Amino acid sequence: MAAFKETKFPADAPAAQKALGWVDDRFPLTKLWNDQWGKYYAPKNFNFWYIFGSLAMLVLVLQIVTGIFLTMHYKPDGTLNLSGVPVAFASVEYIMREVPWGWLVRYMHSTGASAFFIIVYLHMTRGLMYGSYRKPRELIWLFGFAIFLCLMAEAFFGYLLPWGQMSYWGAQVIVNLFGAIPLIGPDLSLWIRGDYVVSDATLNRFFAFHVIAIPLVLLGLVAAHLIALHEVGSSNPDGIEVKENLGADGHPVDSIPSHPYYTVHDLFGVSVFLTIFSAVVFFAPEMGGYFLEYNNFLPGDSMKTPPHIAPTWYFTAFYSVLRATTSDFLWVLMAGIVGYTAFLWLKSKLSGMVKIIVSVIALLMVAGMMPGMLDAKFWGVVFFGGSVVILAFLPWLDHSPVKSIRYRPDWHKYVYAGLAIAFVTLGYLGTQPPSPVGTIIAQIATLYYFSFFLLMPWWSAMGTFKKVPDRVVFHAH
């Protein structure tokens, strides 16, 4: 074993330098900083779309810190106190009214949850536009998708904790969806709740998942996401691999050190974000009932059902897919499945065995949708889950010869715009009570959403593509 050799500094060296050297001799602090940021070279043509990854890290830290302070006063107890109010709900009221600055911590946490999803959706939009999921970044995308699933689980488990009316009944509705799964559904719902109805047992296990289990998994996935990113390098708006053009110093000629260049870039973005975030926290924390529903300021009551039960806004796009899957709509879906299967046989270059497997799955789905078989509620849950899971396959669905939307045919932009409109439409309809017209619009948006991804192997390769430059296109700010 090599002998330990401590770094020597001049006697007049600053105390901070000596302290850092002492740490570096025992822990690679400076090396970690340089590898992960200080001397990490990133493409020089980043635009504002690349700020959302850093903002996501900021909000993650914000949620952890505010969550720690909230758990100091919150009690995960669904039983009634002497005033006839659930203890969990009363503890939230205590935080809001009695704990010094408790209202601020609570509003920061609730607003942070919505801010997190806004940032993540914009981060995913950037990846979609610039092909950041393409080779060699497939694993980065998969880690990011797993982070998205964890965020959905974290938000779902945390949604019940205030034990307000919408929290209670929202959890009841979402958990009951699992009961639509044949054979194992009822037992699965019972296992998730820990009781036959949403009760104190449900609250305790949701609290454990929200505070301990999911955050641990989430932190591990974030670390894996960043390690994978820094291993293959960041993408850029031009979709050019900057590592293919190295300078004499061994670094890409079209890249710059993250520090200080993108440190300043990110600090400016953080300043803008905190300004907007503070405005929401101090002046509109409920955001018209979208961030904090008005019914959630009433204690949860199993004997009083709210007139309209819907999940928080960041789930409503996928929730609309579930509601759009009616018994009449199943006939449209069956026709779509049959047509898509025939299209695969005629136009796809997949192997015969893969086509046979897809055909068998399609046949089973069509048979299951026939009257008297599996009901529309089950298929709603299937397409609800499918609308999320399909995002994971994006790296293998996109067959475009270029990565960035900048060099794709102009009509591709309208296809992407249609996806954005369909997603926002589904999200809005999910917040509204069901109506015949709204259901039809949601069904049209659902068909477009799935068609975008399922037909992507063909439409993404169609059209006249612009020539991608050899070097990144950079315009000074």
pLDDT tens, residue by residue, 4-63: 777 777 777 888 888 888 888 888 888 888 888 888 899 998 999 999 999 999 999 999
Q: For residue 364, what is the enclosing H or E element?
A: helix 352-369
Is 230 flagged in the annotation as binding? yes
- Is this model's pTM higher than 0.75 or not? yes
| Nearest alpha-carbon partner for 229 in 123, 112, 387, 388 | 123
Helix, strand and coil percent figures for the chain, each rounded to 5: 65, 5, 30
> Is the torsion defined by CA of 451, 457, 459, 465 positive or negative?
positive
Question: In this predicted structure, what is the pLDDT of residue 243?
Answer: 86
Is 301 in contact with 168 (CB distance < 8 Å)? yes
Question: In this predicted structure, what is the pLDDT of residue 220?
Answer: 96
Question: In this predicted structure, what is the pLDDT of residue 373?
Answer: 83
Characterize 167-192 residue by residue with b for buried, 16 or more Cβ atoms within 10 angstroms of its Cβ, and e for exposed.
Answer: bbbbbbebbbbbbbbeeebeeebeeb
Is 225 flagged in the annotation as binding? yes
Is 477 flagged in the annotation as binding? no
Is 109 flagged in the annotation as binding? yes
Is 412 flagged in the annotation as binding? no
pLDDT tens, residue by residue, 263-310: 999 999 999 999 999 999 999 999 988 899 888 899 988 888 888 888
DSSP secondary-structure letter at 236?
-
* 3-class state of residue 412 by DSSP: helix
CA distance 15 to 401: 55
* 3-class state of residue 76 by DSSP: coil
Question: In this predicted structure, what is the pLDDT of residue 477?
Answer: 44
Task: Give me the domains of the chain, ranges plus CATH numbers.
Answer: 27-297 (1.20.810.10)
Amino acid at 456: M
Residues in the chain predicted with pLDDT less than 70, given as ranges, are 1-3, 474-477
Residue keyed to tokens 């996401």: 225
